[in-house]
Structure 1
Amino acid sequence: MKKELVLAGLCLVFFASFASARLMISEPEDVYSLGDKLYITVEGIRGGDSGNLNINLDCGNVSVNLLKISARAFSPEGGQSYSLPYKVLTSEDLEISSLSRIVGNCQVSVGVGDEKVSTDVFEISNNISIEASVDKLHYDPGEEITLSLSATKSNGHLVSGFVEGSNASDFSKEIENGALTEVFSMSDTAEAGAYVLNLFVYDVSEGDGILNQGLAKVLFKINQVPSFIDTGLSAVEITPEENLTISTDIYDQSGKEMDGDVSLLIVSPDGGEIQRTIKSGDFVALNFPLNATAGVWSIFSFFLEINEEDEFEILELQKAEFEFQGSILIVKNVGNARYQKNVDVKIGDTLEELVLNMDIGEERRFNLKAPDGEYEIIVNDGDSSASRSVVLTGNAISIDDLRNVGIFKNYSVIWIFLIVVLGGVGLVLFFKYRKKSVRLKDKVKKVPGKIKKIKDKVKGRVPEKYSSKVSDTLHFTNKSPTSQSLDEHEEKDGMIDLTETKVGKAESSLVLKGERNSSTVIALRIKNYEDLGREGRKRVANIVAGVKKEKGLVDWRGEYIFVIFSPLATKTFKNELLAAKAGFDIFEKINLGNKKFKDKISFNIGINSGDLVASKKKGKLQYTSIGSTIALAKKIADSGSGKLLISNSVRKKLLKDLKSEKAEAVGKTDVYEVSKIIDRSSNQEKLTELLKRMERG
């Protein structure tokens, strides 16, 4: 029994010494991301006179040596341990050319002499998991979109790095602690449909650049929003005998056609209304009666929240119908204008003439007489005619106006007496008030002397160095001295005479009796006007003269040139488009001239719309600005250089006629820079071709 106990003790000592001499290695984490730190501890190292302690990172067919120490550094008795200073999973620390070589399943192996041991398999990953979403699925163009994003590396740690968005929106942002909220928006003119936002999340190191990375996609949709209605007319001027064809097309925010039913409201000059509904892309034909009101008609097109206004004009038509009731000729004005024509009435071989002046809808009756018998009657006014065989009676051929048969004809003596009496009363009153008129004329003659006294008093109270300037301004006229010089035929103070270009003129003055209408104003500022030579100024005058094509009227005030588009001159209330076309023409011509000529023109153009009170006098348009119509146009012209800028009030009415981008605001007014005028004549051609196809079908 004693021997057995001794033997058991020796076995325990032997196995204990064997176990203490066994080589062991600490187990790593299950997953590492690039850039992480790798820690390794080795136990039971037994030294020797030869060989090395090698610690390697083995990933597939790639083996990276992490540590190499001579076995002599350790005691041959064994039982020693060694902790590897951490290794960072970067190419610099591992001394490898590419980190992609170690991405995947790996092990750490340790060997000393004949002893070798390896860890369990673990993963080295460069992947980032991304969860991303937007606050809703559908958005209107220009609406804010909120993106929420979280990013985690394969090792479970939150990402601190960067995120880049592309495709639907381009941006680059820094992400901290694995979270980001980004607000962006699509363009106001973005096409309707589905959009994909691509997201790229990554972190970096100085030596390797991008370490870990991940991709994600977010889907959202942009709604189709109607932007404007394009109304096409077969003609802008028609007579009541002609048809008017109206087509409508609805366009969304990107300029693409969209479906929908358009409501039309056609309003006559006297307030009458016609209502129609047509589908986008279709057309409707309107037939107007002969007595349809002459003048400018308005067409209002409605679809959801948008509307469009267009105009056409029904021309005056003098039209009469002739009919017979026995010997009575009936003439009826069935046109839409006063009937003022000479009508030939042929009775047999005799030609009589009626000189008519009839109101709209008026009917006149004439009694035809001739020696007893049947006659061929032919009535003709050059446009309409009628004929009939009629039995007439009488002593001679004649035509009696039945309108004159009445009280005047039966009591002509009484009427003559009344006229004589009224004439006498009129003469008495004339001589009575004639003396008062003479006294008034004497007072008027004294006015110039009083004006001179007022001017002398004003000049006497002004310092001497300003008296000459005051003298120049006391003309008692609403015209500025500069604008007055436009009427002269010579160059004064460097001003070029616009009469050479035969352009219409306007002048700012106090208009007490005029029409208040919405008008549009171009303000052209020539910034280097004082430095321009005569040829340069002539070039400016010739360019500005081009506005007469759009019926603009010029008010030239030194370096500021105002072009007025008033309904009194243009005969339309749609003056924004006329001004935009004229302004763009000036813009292009100045830029073209600056490329050709040495004398460069420094300029800027502002366009605004608003109310003006205007009247025509002596061949000129005199106007008074209401509110800031003129002042804002001038401020816009002052706000930039070499640009064509328009106020928001002008832009709203020309959304489909021009391309513009928002510029720097002027005060509280939004201003837009115009880059292109859109030619809409193609719409008219489209409608004409459509009508031709319908006729052929």
Structure 2
Amino acid sequence: MKKSVFSLIFVVFLISFVSAEIIINPVQNEVYNLGNIITIPATVKTTSSITGTFEMSLLCNGKSINFYKNGINLGSGEEKRIEASLVLNKNIIGESKGDCKIKATLGTDSALTNEFRISDTIKINLQTEQKEFDPKENIIMKGTAVKENGEDVNGFLEMGVVMGNESDTRMYYESVNNGFFSVNFSMPKDARAGQYLLKLKIYEKDSSNEITNNGFTDYNILIRQIPTSLEIVFDNKNVEPGTNLKVKTILHDQTGEKIPSSAIMTIKDGENKILEQREISTDEYMEYSVNYDEKPSNWTVVSVSNRMTTNSFFTIDSKEIAGVTIINKTVTVTNTGNVPYNKTFLIKIGDYSSNINVYLEVNEEKKYILSAPDGEYDVEVISEGESKLTEKVLLTGDAINIKEISRFNFVNFPVIFIFVIFVLGFIVFMMFRKGQQKTFFGYVKKWGKNKSNNVEGNSIQNIPKMEESSSENKGPLMDFKSNKAELSLSLNGEKQGTVAICLRIKNLAEISRKDESIKDTLRKINLIVSDNKGFTYENQDDLFFLLIPLITRTFKNERKAIEIANKMKNILENHNKMFKQKIDFGISLNYGDIIAKKEKDVLKFMSFGAFMNSSKKIASLANGDIYLSDNFGKRAMHEVKAEKKNIQGVEVYVIKELKEKREEHKKFISQFIRRLERDNKDKRKEEEGD
């Protein structure tokens, strides 16, 4: 009986358990962002009457949030369609995000949807490619913003520019419409050169002003160093005659920081005459020796760098000073200053002393002869309380006396006077005799011709030799005809990327510029450069050969420069094998910017940065070899096989092999193919003839 009751209860329970079926439709999207609404259609079918509560819950990461509840009363065989919606905002789902499902429940029956993702992420895509800017330059940061579900963002943008540290951040605000944003801003004119971090945040808000979806990204920009001022700095603005002027140029950027570059410095005297002009690296002292007798005046230093010019003045100080010497019995006082000397000397001979007023023009000297009874005396010369000279001197005479030797006269120096008269008489006699010989020349041809030849021979041989010895190492190394280049202080035009071949002659001081073998060797080199439309600039120990697109009509001058440099090297090596006078040389190849302008047969140019100085430096490191600068080496990688080296802290490339031209390969292949085709045609004709 008990078993029958238990079985009946179990059957009733089983019938109620399977009396309802829940059919829930799949969620349509794989990803939903906050703010979206998820619609979940569901259907409940019964096989018997049922009364209960139908519920829907969001399941995310093990957490359940009920968002729908409704009572149901259905008869047997009835069904009910339910349209539930879930609004994805924080008031309903809280912080629930990630992979989720929706569960529908009626009594003990339940059903689950497919898995989907709830996200609050916004993807930011920047469309700005430029990374380097000048201060005050207009910077536009633009791009797109899309939610993870693929919908466009309509929200807000905040951008912070970190100026130095997180506490110093400039904020910019813009709106985002239909997924697009654009921020227009600029950096201050005195912004420090370097990297700056831009932090972008894009977000949306709900009706309660709460942030829903958001996205973040960072972007780095580089603010360039802009030359803004040129400064001339003196080691001392008051220069003493006989010492060196030390002056340098400092190029400042927008914040006053130094910019390494080069400058052309010119020193002018008080009459605006150019005394020295030199190209030198910025922040490097230029020295100029001021003569000891240079008169007091204000001089000018002019500096040009990066299209900026500045000048400053310094003073050559007055220096009233005299040198004193004693030779035998004569005291010599010489004005070694740069202004007239007007002071009193006290000369002491033993216990005797006498004041002498001395007035001397610049470089003038006066002599005083000392006499005293025969013996050795302590002689001291004192000026302004300071002892200038003290010596023991043997003197002769009747009494102590100090007498100025003012001029030569017959009474004081009879022997010298007689000698001078003799010399003058001899000169007059020789001039008279020479005049007689010239008159006689017209009557006795043979004798006169011989005498004339001797005289002319002496004139021709002696005078030019003196001129040669005095100017042996002066003048230019090369005789320019049509490819001379000159450095200009100021030039208007566009920058041109230029290849410079720098030939450093390291033993220039030892080389005679009159040596025909040297001149012939350099003439050959210049001819090669000229034939390749290059221009030559001479600067002390260095010869620069410039290949400029303006002249060569091509921007690809690297291979041509390498070929010229190799020919130079061969010419110089052959010279050193053949001639006694060797040339110690180094060759560099560099690439940089210049402004150039051709005026008649002379090319005027102005270089930028350290282009010329770095060329000189690299050439000085190359001992009988060719070194490529880092700039040139990177541009010529497709032309040469080179090994990178660090020599005395300078990155250079050393050429190992010059690659063959691709055009030659193409030409060879095309000729080879045409030859094959021609051979095949000939072969077919022969076969047809057979």
Shorter-chain TM-score bucket reads: 0.3 to 0.5
